[in-house]
Every structure is written in C-alpha cells, then in structure tokens.
C-alpha cells in the first residue's frame, strides 16, 4: 500500500490553480510510492479560499498560514504567495520540519534568499524552487545534448521572456507592480526563469551589464486580488506608482567560459503572450526552443552533409523524451500544466534521496545573485560581478 504525505498549499490564484492541479494529477499518471494528500489550502480571503478548496479538491481551507505550517499533520508546505511572503513562510516551515516547495523568484532580496537556504539546510528538510520550465521534456533533452557535447564549444546564449499583459496604461497596479511585494518587475518575475534556464543549460553567470526601464510609471489603483490571469477588476480613479521595472535587458559572461549571453525580460512586447525562448549556438550545432511551441525544439547539426543542412524540428513528445511515456501517444502534445505535474512528481518521489535532481533553494539563490547584479549594473551602467 502506498504511503501518503499531507500537503498545505499557500496561494489560491494563478499558481495556486497550477499547483493544485499538479498534486491532483501526479499520482494519476505517474507511479508514486508516496502519494500526496491535498490536506489544506491557505489564502487571505475567506470566501475565495473556501471556494478554491472546493474547486480544486482540498480537504480543508484556512486564512492562517502560521497555524497551518505548524500543524503536526502537514508534511509539505507549497508556497505560491507574493514574493514578500516567501522568506517568512519558508523559514517558519523549515523550523517546523516541513519539506518546502517555493515559487520563483525564491525571494525579493539576496539576504532573504540566503536566510531561506540557511533555514532549510539547518532543518534538514527537502526544498525546491519552482523553476517549472526545467521540467519540459524538450528542455531536459536539450540539457542532455549539451552535456554530451553535441553542440561543441558554446559561443552564444540568447534568452528572452516576452509578455504583453500590461501594455495597456489602464491596466491597474497590482502586487506584481510594486517593489514592496514583488521585489522587482519583469526582471524577477520572468527574468528569473531565463536566468535559471541559462545557468541550468550552460553554466553560472559571472558578470553582467544591464539596463532597465519602467515605461508606465503611474497606473490606476486596483483590486488587490488582481493577478496576471485577471481579465478585469475594480479600478479606482486614483493613481498608484509603479516602482518596479517593466523591462530589463542584459549581457552576460559565464564562469569558466568565453561564451557571451544576451537576455531580455519584458512585459511590453505586444503579441507575445508567454514567449520564453532560449537559443544556444556552438561549434557543432545550434538549438532554439520557446515555450509558446513548448513540445518542439529546433536543432541544427553542423556535421550534416551540405545538401541537407538546416534546422530540423524535434518533437519532444515522441518516445525517448523524459516523462512522455506517462502521457499520450507521440505528437499528442502536452501543455503548460503538465510541467507542474512533473515538478510535483520529482519532488515527492525524491523525498528520501540525499542528492536530488530538481532545482533547490541553492539554485534559487544563484538566480537571486544574478538578478541583484543586473539591478546594480543598471544603476551603475558598468559591468557588475555576480
């Protein structure tokens, strides 16, 4: 008989929905000797939290996260709250002996990230930072190809994460547009993802030069519950200040390598809904992947005969790619929500291992250090070391 582990999820909105679905689906599609029990979901709005519990399948609901993380029947705490709450929640959960999943970016500051890592290491609990795109079969296949030397010596890494959900100046201020809650804007929200992908695939960033911009500095005040997924909300005639970046661009050098990196994170790219793209160019070949066509990547092999050279499409839902045997027949594509299922599967099935394969708080701190260097470089207009 399979063992169980009781889960508490903090967050009921966009990520709360994604994580809830993952805990529900993981044991249905993957062989898990330890199965998650969706014990309690936590939010700050009683009516909304109760509704989320019923909709997503949680046994209980609460508005008191401190009480929940200290419950003796909770094994895993999943933190999907705004960034300013990551550190206090994770540190409290670690002190209570809970295993922790925390959404990215790990924290709003380097100090918070360091404190979080120290807390989980002291407590000896398992910890994951939610860099969800690492769990895409295409990305894992690309990682294997790079590690095998299929691309040879890496010359260039290009990463961009482009969205357009706040181009409208009438889109109201929400928590993601305020430094006190989000820490930074596009840089931390989506720039964290491309930074982690680059470091996962190629290696750690050593130094950066950067520029950031806030295109719309005043916006209508909004219902505090609005998220990236909100289509409408209550707006006020009063204006609020946007004190985070709308866009960030940076160039990078990697440790122990002469490869050059160029990166862009923006919410001001009309027509780009979730264009998370990475391109890697090496002496033996090149690879291009983007999340909007997530189940495929483009591969160029310089060793091909001259009459058949060119980028070929690799379908990462075919047999041989990670996770795909648990889903559908070849080319019956998976989607965004499946990546969270893979994330939950890996975390729970590795609870008993000393060495894990998923991104940890240590990886989250490494990204936080890069984000910090980018902000320093944007201010100094000089190269800044990570």
SS3 per residue for 280-319: EEECCEEEEEEHHHCCEEEEEECCCCHHHCCCEEEECCCC
CA 9 from chain centre, in angstroms, equals 16
The pLDDT of residue 235 is 60
The pLDDT of residue 135 is 98
The pLDDT of residue 25 is 98
CA 165 from chain centre, in angstroms, equals 18
Between β-strands 247-254 and 260-266, what pairing exists: parallel, antiparallel or unpaired?
Answer: antiparallel
The pLDDT of residue 119 is 98
Interhelix angle 110-123/361-380, rounded to 10 degrees, is 170
Using CB atoms within 10 A of its CB, is residue 147 exposed (0-12), middle (13-18) or buried (19+)?
Answer: exposed
Q: Give the DSSP letter of residue 331.
A: T
pLDDT tens per residue, range 51-100? 999 999 999 999 999 999 999 999 999 999 999 999 999 999 999 999 99
Q: What is the mean pLDDT of each run of 10 residues along the chain (386 residues)?
A: 90 97 98 97 97 98 98 98 97 98 98 98 98 98 98 98 97 94 97 98 98 97 60 69 98 97 98 98 98 96 96 92 94 95 98 96 98 98 98
Nearest 10 degrees: Cα torsion 81, 11, 115, 72:
160
Task: For domain 3-133, give its CATH number from 3.40.50.720, 3.10.20.30, 3.40.50.2300, 3.20.20.150.
Answer: 3.40.50.720
CA angle at residue 143 from 369 to 139, to 5 degrees? 85
Nearest 10 degrees: Cα torsion 204, 206, 210, 213:
40
Phi, psi of 214 (to 5 degrees): -110, 110
The pLDDT of residue 81 is 96
Task: For domain 135-334+358-385, give its CATH number from 3.30.360.10, 3.40.50.2020, 3.40.50.2000, 3.40.50.720.
Answer: 3.30.360.10
The pLDDT of residue 233 is 55
Q: Where are the domains of the chain?
A: 3-133, 135-334+358-385
The pLDDT of residue 237 is 75
Using CB atoms within 10 A of its CB, is residue 271 exposed (0-12), middle (13-18) or buried (19+)?
Answer: exposed
Token pair of 143 as six digits: 């990682």
pLDDT tens per residue, range 315-345? 999 888 999 999 999 989 999 999 999 999 9
Domains 3-133 and 135-334+358-385 share a fold: no
pLDDT tens per residue, range 173-191? 999 999 999 999 999 999 9
The pLDDT of residue 229 is 52
- Residues paired with 384 in a beta bridge: 208
The pLDDT of residue 228 is 54
Rounded to whole angstroms, how far apart are CA atoms 3 and 180?
41
């Amino acid at each position: 008989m399979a063992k169980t582990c009781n889960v508490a999820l903090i967050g009921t909105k966009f990520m709360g929905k994604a994580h809830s679905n993952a805990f529900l689906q993981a044991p249905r599609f993957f062989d898990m000797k330890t199965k998650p029990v969706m014990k309690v979901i936590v939010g700050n709005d009683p009516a909304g939290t109760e509704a989320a519990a019923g909709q997503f399948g949680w046994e209980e609901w609460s508005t008191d996260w401190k009480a929940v993380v200290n419950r003796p029947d909770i094994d895993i705490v999943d933190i999907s709250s705004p960034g300013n709450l990551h550190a206090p929640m994770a540190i409290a959960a670690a002190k209570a002996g809970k295993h922790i999943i925390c959404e990215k970016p790990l924290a709003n500051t380097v100090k918070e990230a360091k404190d979080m890592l120290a807390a989980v290491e002291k407590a000896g609990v398992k910890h994951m930072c939610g860099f969800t795109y690492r769990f895409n079969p295409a990305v894992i296949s690309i990682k294997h190809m790079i590690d095998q030397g299929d691309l040879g010596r890496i010359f260039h890494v290009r990463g961009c994460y482009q969205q357009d959900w706040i181009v409208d100046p009438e889109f109201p201020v929400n928590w993601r547009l305020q430094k006190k809650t989000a820490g930074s804007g596009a840089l931390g929200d989506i720039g964290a993802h491309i930074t982690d992908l680059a470091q996962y695939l190629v290696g750690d960033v050593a130094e950066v030069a950067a520029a950031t911009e806030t295109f719309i500095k005043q916006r209508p005040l909004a219902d505090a519950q609005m998220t990236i997924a909100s289509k409408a909300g209550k707006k006020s005639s009063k204006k609020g200040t946007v004190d985070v970046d709308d866009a960030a661009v940076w160039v990078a050098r990697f440790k122990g390598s002469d490869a050059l990196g160029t990166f862009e994170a923006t919410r001001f790219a009309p027509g780009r809904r979730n264009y998370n793209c990475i391109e890697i160019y090496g002496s033996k070949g090149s690879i291009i992947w983007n999340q909007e066509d997530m189940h495929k990547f483009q591969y160029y092999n310089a060793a091909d005969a001259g009459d058949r050279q060119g980028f070929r499409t690799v379908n990462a839902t075919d047999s041989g790619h990670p996770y795909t045997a648990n889903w559908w027949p070849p080319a019956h594509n998976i989607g965004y929500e499946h990546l969270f299922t893979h994330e939950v599967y890996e975390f729970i099935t590795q609870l008993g291992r000393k060495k894990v394969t998923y991104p940890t708080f240590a990886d989250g701190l490494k990204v936080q250090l890069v984000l910090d260097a980018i902000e320093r470089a944007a201010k100094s207009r000089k190269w800044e070391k990570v």
